[in-house]
Amino acid sequence: MKTYIVLLRGINVSGQKKIKMAELRNSLKQRGLEQLETYIQSGNIVCKTKEIDSKAIEKLVHEAILKDFGFDVPTLVLLKEELEGILKHSPYLSEEEKSQYFVFLKQTPNAERIEDFNKLSFDHEDFHITTDCVYLCCKAGYGKAKLSNNLVERKLQVSATARNLKTVRKLLELCEA
């Protein structure tokens, strides 16, 4: 069995798209996902399955949420090994934990958009773009940062979802449980 991390975008935020994690786990269990764990209410799931295709799991989770809860929720699925690699390659691991964020990209942005994005500059904020993640270092905190998930999506024209370092580490810990 393979271990997958499912990242949902925009659920249980400001009263929008409310989904109870127990109900979500039950919904996904009924569809064959096993050893389901969720972390906090913002759409972080760790599961195991015999399915070996991330895109198939992405589709399964997306359709389950749409059918069972009535929400069209952007869904991104990573293998445990992919998340480990993203964490390992962060250029900001020597920075304070609270300043580190990961914007996971559903699609690889095109080179021209990356080049344009790399021209941006923000006080007390830094970033590094790869094919599957935009690493953020927000020294004044993410809540006040100009670098945001919405900015990344708009400028790179990709779907994305952001997580902080604490969440990424916790998801990897849940993979070992």
Whether 2-81 shares its CATH topology with 86-164 is answered yes
Under CATH, which number does the domain 86-164 receive? 3.30.70
Per-residue model confidence as pLDDT tens digits over 94-137: 999 999 999 999 999 999 999 999 999 999 999 999 999 999 99
Domain ranges of the chain: 2-81, 86-164
Tokens matching residue 20: 């109870």
CATH number of the domain located at residue range(s) 2-81 in this protein: 3.30.70.1280
Pairing status of strand 44-49 against strand 125-129: unpaired
What is the CA angle 39-162-59, rounded to 5?
A: 70
pLDDT of residue 170: 96
In the chain, where does DSSP find H-type helix? 21-29, 54-69, 80-88, 111-117, 149-156, 165-176
- Residue 177 in this model has a pLDDT that exceeds 90: no
Query: What global pTM score does this model have?
Result: 0.94
CB atoms within 10 A of CB 147: 20
**Average pLDDT, integer, range 149-177:** 95
Q: What is the pLDDT of residue 1?
A: 87
Q: What mean pLDDT value characterizes the chain?
A: 93
Secondary structure of residue 160 in the 3-state scheme: strand
pLDDT at 15 over 80: no
